[in-house]
Amino acid sequence: MAKPVNGFSKLSKEEKVNWLAEHHFKNKEEGIRILHQYLNEDTKLQSLHDDFIENTISNFYLPLGIAPNFLINNTYYTIPMAIEESSVVAAAGKSAKYWQQRGGFKTTVLGTEKIGQVHFMYHGDTGKLHTFFKGIKPKLLKATEDITENMRKRGGGISSIELRDKTNSLPGYFQLNCTFETLDAMGANFINSCLEAIAKSFKEEAQDFTDFTTEEKNIEIVMSILSNYVPNCVVKAEVSCPLADLNDDKGLSGKEFAEKFIRAIAIANAEPHRAVTHNKGIMNGIDAVVLATGNDFRAIEAGAHAYAAKEGSYKSLTHAKIEDGTFYFWIEIPLALGTVGGLTSLHPLVKLSLEILDRPSAKELMQIVAVAGLAQNFAAVRSLITDGIQKGHMKMHLMNILNQLGATDKEKEYFVNYYRDKTVTHSGVISEFEKIRK
């Protein structure tokens, strides 16, 4: 049971670990040993990790894998993926090889606009507010000039500021909706700094607007913050080939495979329970690359799922069709990513991951990440409509089961061969393991 503690953040790392061991670990020595085991021996690197968050006691590692052979817009990419789930990297690589032989992936960036908002309350004449905003809009932009100077030199900055009346949703609620171009930076700190400067100027200018009554001048700034929903920062990735080329699956012609595949997508559009799992599979591929490249996978997840519900019900992020004898499969997804700033310039493995991708721009990374999601979804749906998802997944999960049982290398080799033509089940592995141990 947890115990209250005062001043925990002021304790040294060793004192924090000892406190945890004293109050939470059944085996104190073993708990301390494991935490120490995952500390980096390079003290400079460990110090860097310690500064990423607060109250660090150790590191939590995820495997960093590689999915090669991705042909994207006629250029080959090797994609790094940080993820713990079995079969994700293997499935991505399998899809890459499949489509490599059918023309590869094609991508297009549809937009790069990001959004931030100043949320405020105003209880007065709406006409006066619009007149006020129109007059002081240039001053709001001027208030950010010091912040946006370097970004503007590179072709980015604030692209628009609009006053939006949201009183139909909440009495007295208005917002300044601002759009930004942040180039190769994800831009969260840049956007938030701009918004706070805009909010400060907006409130100050209201005090000097003579048409406002005393009450109307009392505009309440509630908050100033970027949005992780970026429906105009979108990328499209697709694959296509003649139906006759979809001939790798046993018992199905190319046309039969395509029709069954399209029905599976249609089900994800019709049934939210399926759509959530369907899109989760897409995010397996996307999150893994986003994490490996030092971007914010929580922001990407939130934005993607909001986009999936943009029509009023939650639907598939991917689409498929047959047209003129050709099978098309594609995704359109919002991805606000960066390749400079933040962890991209700090975390050594992030730097290497971006190097593996040939140091992409933010636009290029958007395309690569979208392809990873599309590839993952193709592999999942293909498995579901043919052999079923568990056959391949459980074979990848086999090693996890064997590691839990403490199998030796020789025993692992035996089980890989044993299940070469069998379906892996947890109970089956345990039963066979007990037999060979006896």
Over the stretch 231-246, which tens digit does the pLDDT of each residue have? 999 999 999 999 999 9
Judgement on whether residues 37 and 134 belong to the same structural domain of the protein: no
How many angstroms separate the Cα of 18 from the Cα of each of 23, 129, 275, 393? 9, 58, 45, 40
Residue 352's pLDDT band (cuts 50, 70, 90): very high
> pLDDT at residue 393 above 70?
no
Q: Residue 83: CB partners within 8 Å, gap ≥ 6?
A: 62, 63, 65, 89, 284, 287, 288, 291
pLDDT of residue 181: 97
Residue 66 lies in a domain: no
More confident residue, 367 or 394: 367
Residue 289 CA to residue 360 CA, distance in Å, equals: 13
Which residue among the candidates 16, 94, 393, 395 is catalytic per the annotation? Answer: 393
Residue 395's pLDDT band (cuts 50, 70, 90): low
Judgement on whether residues 333 and 399 belong to the same structural domain of the protein: no
Q: What's the total number of domains in the chain?
A: 4
> pLDDT at residue 409 above 90?
no
Known active-site residue 347: no
Residue 89 CA to residue 239 CA, distance in Å, equals: 19
Which residue among the candidates 28, 280, 351, 363 is catalytic per the annotation? Answer: 280
Which residue among the candidates 217, 296, 315, 347 is catalytic per the annotation? Answer: 296
Judgement on whether residues 211 and 347 belong to the same structural domain of the protein: no
Q: Which two tokens stand for residue 410?
A: 């020789």
Q: What is the mean pLDDT of the chain?
A: 94
Residue 426's pLDDT band (cuts 50, 70, 90): confident
| Pairing mode, strands 75-82 and 157-165 | unpaired
pLDDT of residue 391: 58
Judgement on whether residues 118 and 218 belong to the same structural domain of the protein: yes
Judgement on whether residues 350 and 428 belong to the same structural domain of the protein: no
Known active-site residue 123: no
- Quote the percentage of the chain above a pLDDT of 70: 97
What count of other Cβ atoms lies within 10 Å of the Cβ of residue 228? 19
Judgement on whether residues 94 and 220 belong to the same structural domain of the protein: no
Residue 282 lies in a domain: yes
What count of other Cβ atoms lies within 10 Å of the Cβ of residue 317? 24
> pLDDT at residue 417 above 60?
yes
Judgement on whether residues 291 and 419 belong to the same structural domain of the protein: no
Residue 68 lies in a domain: no
Known active-site residue 393: yes
Which residue among the candidates 85, 113, 216, 301 is catalytic per the annotation? Answer: 85
Residue where a domain stops, chosen among 205, 226, 247 = 226
| Pairing mode, strands 64-72 and 326-334 | unpaired
The domain spanning residue 201 has which CATH number? 3.30.70.420
More confident residue, 315 or 411: 315
More confident residue, 115 or 346: 115
Known active-site residue 296: yes
Instruction: Decide: 400 and 429 in contact? Cβ < 8 Å.
Output: no
Judgement on whether residues 361 and 413 belong to the same structural domain of the protein: no
**Domain of residue 429, residue span:** 393-437
Judgement on whether residues 148 and 289 belong to the same structural domain of the protein: no
